Amino acid sequence: MNPSDLTCINSTLNFIGKHAKAQHCVPILTFDQPLYWKAMNIIKDEPLNSPLKSVILRLGGFHLEMSFVGGIGHLMEGSGITELLETVYAPNAVTHMTSGKAIARAVRAHFLIDTALTSIILSHIYGIPLPDEIENETGTNDINPANYINTDNTDINAEDL
């Protein structure tokens, strides 16, 4: 029998539900996403006194992560995250990342976004200009930390840098 067949899923759920009821325990099953949705629909359509109503379904770890990343992509749609990611990744890759299909890239991209936002916030808190601000001030891309670090309240001399 094909594992993705509704009859197979239904018989598996009934078997586990009846055995769990006999053992006085709550069955917890983990499925990948396509089977999870089929099992959820089977349980939803069961009567209230059915042993299947006590079955707890879990989405598998990888598919849970895919769903989570896809949810972030959906919620952040229109916020500029797509345009931001397209400065680093190809537009097709960004579409797959925000839909939750390219997990490894999406996780790296979210780390990049986190690092960029943290850098911007900390630069404003501590008054340290970002590299593009330094370039605009000096007209070059040379960054000399001695020009931008306030050493009045420290034991460090600017020359030590």
Compute the C-alpha angle 112/116/119, nearest 5°: 140
* pLDDT at residue 116, as a whole number: 92
> Measured between alpha carbons, how far is residue 92 from residues 2, 73, 86, 107, 119 in Å?
33, 14, 9, 16, 27
68: its two tokens: 């989570």
- Does a structural domain hold residue 105? yes
Q: How many domains does the chain have?
A: 2
Question: Domain limits at 80?
Answer: 63-147
Q: What gap in Å lies between CA 131 and CA 58, rounded to an integer? A: 46
Contact assessment for residue 82 and residue 92, using Cβ atoms and an 8 Å cutoff: no
Asked whether residue 44 falls in the same domain as residue 75, the answer is no
143 has pLDDT over 60: no
Mean pLDDT of all residues in 11-18:
91
Helix axes 61-75, 33-44, angle to 10 degrees: 90
Report the amino acid identity of residue 117: L
Asked whether residue 37 falls in the same domain as residue 96, the answer is no
Could you read off the pLDDT of 73-93 as tens digits, one per residue? 999 999 999 999 999 999 999
Mean pLDDT value across the chain: 85
- Does a structural domain hold residue 153? no
Q: What gap in Å lies between CA 136 and CA 144, rounded to an integer? A: 14
Asked whether residue 47 falls in the same domain as residue 69, the answer is no
- Does a structural domain hold residue 10? yes
134 has pLDDT over 70: no
Asked whether residue 103 falls in the same domain as residue 120, the answer is yes
Lowest-confidence region among 33-42, 75-84, 139-148 = 139-148
